Structure 1
Amino acid sequence: MSDAENTAAGEEAVREAGTTARRVVANIGEVIVGNEETIEHLVVALLGRGHVLLEDVPGVGKTMLARALATSFECDFKRVQFTPDLLPSDITGVNVFDQASREFEFRRGPVFANVVLADEINRAPPKTQSALLEAMEEETVTVDGDTRPVPDPFFVVATQNSVERDRTYELPAAELDRFGMKLSLGYPNEEEEREVLGRVVGNHPIEALDPVATTAELREARAATAEVTVSEAVRAYVTRLARYTRENAQLGVSPRGSVALSRAAQGRAVLEGRDYVVPDDVQQEAVPALAHRVRVGRGEGSARELVREALDAVAVE
Structure 2
Amino acid sequence: MISNSNEENAADYSKDLKKLENEIKKVIIGQEEVIDSVIISLAAGGHVLLEGVPGIAKTLLIKTLSESIGSSFARIQFTPDLLPADITGTKIYQQKTGGFETIKGPVFSNIVLADEINRAPPKVQSALLEAMQEKQVTIQGETYRLDTPFFVLATQNPIESEGTYPLPEAQTDRFMLKILMDYPCVEDEMKIIRRFTGTAPPVPEQIISKERILEIQQFVRSIYTDETVDRYVAEIVDATRHPEKYGLDLKDYIQNGASPRASINLILCSKAAALTDGRVHSTPDDVRKVAHDVLRHRILLNYEAHADRITPDNIIDSILSKVTVP
Specify if TM > 0.5: yes
Q: Work out whether 1:302 is the aligned partner of 2:311.
A: yes
> What SS does structure 2 have at the residue aligned with 1:259?
helix
- Corresponding position of 1:230: 225
- Corresponding position of 2:204: 209
- Corresponding position of 2:270: 265
- Corresponding position of 1:115: 111
> What SS does structure 1 have at the residue aligned with 2:300?
coil
Q: Work out whether 1:91 is the aligned partner of 2:87.
A: yes
- In structure 2, the gaps of 5 or more residues are 244-253
Aligned length: 312
Cα-to-partner distance string for 1:105-138 (whole Å, 9 max, x where unaligned): 1111000011000000000000000011111111
- Corresponding position of 2:145: 149
> What SS does structure 2 have at the residue aligned with 1:261?
helix
The one-letter code of the counterpart of 2:229 is V
Tell me the CA shift for residue 314 of structure 1: 0.3
> What SS does structure 1 have at the residue aligned with 2:255?
coil
- Corresponding position of 2:235: 240
Q: More deviation in 191-200 or 246-255?
A: 246-255
Which residue among 214, 218, 221 is the counterpart of 2:213? Answer: 218
Tell me the CA shift for residue 16 of structure 1: 1.6
- Corresponding position of 2:296: 291
Query: C-alpha distance in 1, partners of 2:234/2:83?
Result: 39
Distance 1:84 1:203, change over 3 A: farther
The one-letter code of the counterpart of 1:298 is Y
The one-letter code of the counterpart of 1:160 is Q
- Corresponding position of 2:195: 199
> What SS does structure 2 have at the residue aligned with 1:107?
strand
Tell me the percent identity: 40
Tell me the CA shift for residue 95 of structure 1: 0.8
Query: Counterparts of 1:1-317 in structure 2 under 5 Å?
Result: 7-202=3-198, 205=201, 208-248=203-243, 249-300=254-305, 301-317=310-326
Distance 1:193 1:99, change over 3 A: same
Cα-to-partner distance string for 1:243-281 (whole Å, 9 max, x where unaligned): 001124211110011111111111101101011111100
Distance 1:60 1:204, change over 3 A: farther
Q: More deviation in 173-182 or 243-252?
A: 243-252
Query: C-alpha distance in 1, partners of 2:130/2:6?
Result: 32
Determine if contact 1:13/1:221 at 8 Å carries over to the other structure: no
Query: C-alpha distance in 2, partners of 1:204/1:165?
Result: 37
The one-letter code of the counterpart of 2:196 is V
Query: C-alpha distance in 2, partners of 1:273/1:307?
Result: 27
Determine if contact 1:50/1:180 at 8 Å carries over to the other structure: yes
Query: C-alpha distance in 2, partners of 1:204/1:67?
Result: 18
Tell me the CA shift for residue 42 of structure 1: 0.4
Query: C-alpha distance in 2, partners of 1:281/1:203?
Result: 41
Determine if contact 1:126/1:169 at 8 Å carries over to the other structure: yes
Query: C-alpha distance in 1, partners of 2:321/2:200?
Result: 42
Deviating runs (4+, > 4 A) in structure 1?
A: none
Cα-to-partner distance string for 1:223-244 (whole Å, 9 max, x where unaligned): 1112111221111110000000
> What SS does structure 2 have at the residue aligned with 1:239?
helix
Tell me the CA shift for residue 200 of structure 1: 0.5
Query: C-alpha distance in 2, partners of 1:39/1:204?
Result: 23
Tell me the CA shift for residue 9 of structure 1: 2.9
> What SS does structure 2 have at the residue aligned with 1:276?
coil
Tell me the CA shift for residue 203 of structure 1: 5.4
Q: TM-score, normalised by structure 2?
A: 0.93
- In structure 1, the gaps of 5 or more residues are none
The one-letter code of the counterpart of 2:311 is S
